[in-house]
Chains A and B, each alone.
Chain A
Amino acid sequence: MADDATLMRSARFRAEREKDWKKLEDLVTFAEAGGVQSLSFEQSRDLAALYRQATTSLAIAREISLDKALLAYLEALAARAYLSVYAPQERLGGLFTRFFTHSAPQAMRRCWPFLLAGFACMGLGFLVGYLLYLENSEWFYVFMPPGLAGDRGPDASTEYLLSIIYDDSPEASGLGVFASFLFSHNTRIAIFIFGLGVFACAPAILLTFYNGLAIGAFYAVHVERGLGWDIGGWLSVHGVTELSAICIACGGGLRLGFAVLFPGQKTRREALRIAGRDAVKIAIVAALMLLAAALLEGFARQLIQDMTTRYVVGWGIGALWLSWFVFAGRSKS
């Protein structure tokens, strides 16, 4: 009877390999606590080898063993080891550098038709809003979300409008409130535009167009009073960055919606997954631009009171963004 256990194939199988499994278990626990990068060369070599061995053991045990405890243990061990071995193997720093120097500008360049379409939506909206306002000033109240423009509607006096554009004491005027509100509003808009792009592009296009309408009408209010250049400067400081960010978010949304509409040979889900690779990078770029715009809006706009300087700063920063998208991350050849 004593030989029975030693004769039983599955018990022998386990006895021969148990030490390696225990070793793998220790390695996995160690790697999970400190990350895979904390392993030494020998340890990581052993981890990979022992993991493959454990998966083989599992496959064999499923065939030859009826020991439930053994099967459950091997299942769990192989799964844990699998999760450690196939962990993301990138360092955070490397990830950031690669994003800024390569992947982001490359994604922007790959998606240029969508980005162009995003800018076109906004531009068209702006034009329509501008022309409609000049035709009938009542349109302003249709386009502008209540509260966003403050008191700066068609009823405001020219002096009042001018006083807000060139304001020496920003704290007193409530412009700070307006700034933070505009920032959160436009961020929300950008997220909406990007996220809604999935639904066959239409919501993204409509929202961008509508945003353009509002800005067009707002601009027209000032042009009517002969303040066109002044409001242009006021908007330029942060608007070049901020509105571009919204257009870019729209481009990212369109990229997603396009994949849903025209998946080609792939399934829609698969096409969406692939489109998501570029779209996410575009969304991050848009988010960064919005952040930059908020900083410009919060500080630069109040500091710079001269119209020409405002134009130079706003469009200069715009040119910097553009050069990043166009020139960064090109291969040497």
Chain B
Amino acid sequence: MTVTDMPTTRRAKRKARRAARHAEAAQILPPEGVPLNLPIASVGVRLGAQIVDLLITVVCAAAIILLLAFSGMLGVNGFTALASLLFFIIRVPYYVIAELIWNGQTLGKKLMKIKVVSHDGGPLSAHALVLRNLMKEAEIFLPGTLLFSIGSGGFLGWISFAWVFMAFAIPLSNVHRQRLGDMLAGTHVVHLPQPMLLKDLARDVLRPRPTKKAAFTFLSHQLDHYGAFELQTLEQLLRAQDKRMEQAAFERNRATVVSIVENIRRKIGYADAIKPHEAVDFLRAFYNAQRAHLEQRQIFGERRQDKHYSGSNDTQGGQG
């Protein structure tokens, strides 16, 4: 409206657009044809996993070198060459074999709960895993070791620096956070989702004293005020009621619930007053009725995203 409002709305729009792009990127279409959401792992998390893996391989290499040194098989002059060679020989198969055995996870990735998946939703092929890990050598380790061995000065040093910089810039510049090896192999890295089934609130209401309580009844026009967003916010609030609370928190929570109940009552025009100790029960009953109502509407093809649905409905005309 005013001039000062403009940038914030534009920024909000851009933010929304970016969020939509990221949500779309997180979708994978498996052969079954039901899109799955696997959130893309960020560069920072992957770097963490990488550091863990690096530590593991370095410790292995160091152990072997110590063993060789104590057994006296090691001359002094070939020491650094042998060390770097050993590190290389352990590192390359480690990544490939670990990701093959543990289905796209190295130990570091297991720790960080991330995982390599195929970009097109198909199975991970051995070829893809080998390719992405060999490219990692060329992408990061080769210029990295050059950078360490040469130091920052010199022409070659600058080239390696630019190379490492590029290797980190490429994942940041695409939505899937793919590095060059990922692009070639057709993979990207995702967070492992943790399935946790919370109880169904709609069934929960049955258990305590089903008949003794005065039932709350809602009329159909009273349920036309809210959409899915409000319903799911209410769901969150109700789930939080089951937690054990300290006395102070309990008081605060009760005050919040009572004020929410008042708001809802005013909005939907519910005539009877609600006593404070009945407030949560009222909310549960309202949740049930509202959910049943909204789901019913949804089956008939009318999705109500939030309480502003009626406004958008008018502009779009009959989308029955």
Contact = CB atoms under 8 A, between A and B. Distances in A.
A5 B102 CA distance: 42
A88 B123 contact: yes
A43 interface: no
Contact of B193 (A4, A79, A184, A191): A79
Interface string B136-152: 01110010000000000
Interface string B23-64: 000001010101011100000000000000000000000000
A18 B200 CA distance: 11
A320 interface: no
A195 interface: yes
B242 to A, nearest CB: 12
A64 B298 contact: yes
A66 B235 CA distance: 10
A82 B30 contact: yes
A89 interface: yes
Contacts of B196: 72-73, 76
Given A64-B295, A88-B103, A180-B82, A280 B115 contact: no
B197 A95 contact: no
A67 B291 contact: yes
B106 interface: no
Given A79-B36, A87-B124, A68 B232 contact: yes
A156 interface: no
Contacts of B130: 280, 284
A55 B84 contact: no
A191 B144 CA distance: 14
A2 B124 CA distance: 49
B193 A70 contact: no
B81 A73 contact: no
Interface string A74-100: 011111101110111110100100000
Interface stretch (A171-179, A215-223, A235-243): A171-179
Given A14-B200, A78-B36, A88-B123, A4 B195 contact: no
Nearest to B210: A2
Contact of B292 (A4, A55, A73): A4
A194 interface: yes
A23 interface: no
B118 A86 contact: yes
Contacts of B101: 35, 92
A186 interface: no
B108 interface: no
Interface stretch (B184-192, B250-258, B269-277, B307-315): B184-192
Contacts of B117: 83
Contacts of A90: 100, 126
A180 B85 contact: yes
Interface size class of B (residues with CB under 8 A): 35 or more
A111 interface: no
Contacts of A14: 200
B4 interface: no
A183 B80 CA distance: 13
Contacts of B137: 191
A88 B291 contact: no
A52 to B, nearest CB: 6
A25 B195 contact: yes
A8 B205 CA distance: 13
Contacts of A176: 75, 77-78
A322 B316 CA distance: 71
Interface in B67-100: 75, 77-78, 81-82, 84-85, 97, 100
A160 B74 CA distance: 27
A247 interface: no
A191 B141 CA distance: 11
B32 A52 contact: yes
Interface in A32-67: 32, 35-36, 52, 55-56, 58-59, 63-67
Interface of B: 28, 30, 32, 34, 36-38, 75, 77-78, 81-82, 84-85, 97, 100-104, 115, 117-118, 122-127, 129-131, 134-135, 137-139, 142, 183-186, 192-198, 200-203, 205-206, 210-211, 215-217, 228, 231-232, 235-236, 239, 285, 288-289, 291-292, 294-296, 298-299
Given A79-B38, A269-B183, 11 more contacts: A2-B211, A4-B205, A58-B36, A66-B228, A67-B202, A68-B236, A75-B37, A82-B36, A88-B100, A183-B81, A283-B134
Interface of A: 1-2, 4-5, 7-11, 14-15, 18, 21-22, 25, 32, 35-36, 52, 55-56, 58-59, 63-70, 72-73, 75-80, 82-84, 86-90, 92, 95, 171, 174, 176-177, 180-181, 183-184, 188, 191-192, 194-195, 269, 272-273, 276-277, 280, 283-284
24 contacts: A9-B299, A10-B202, A11-B202, A11-B203, A15-B200, A32-B103, A35-B103, A56-B34, A66-B228, A66-B298, A67-B235, A68-B232, A69-B198, A73-B195, A79-B36, A82-B28, A177-B81, A180-B78, A180-B81, A191-B142, A276-B131, A276-B184, A280-B127, A280-B134
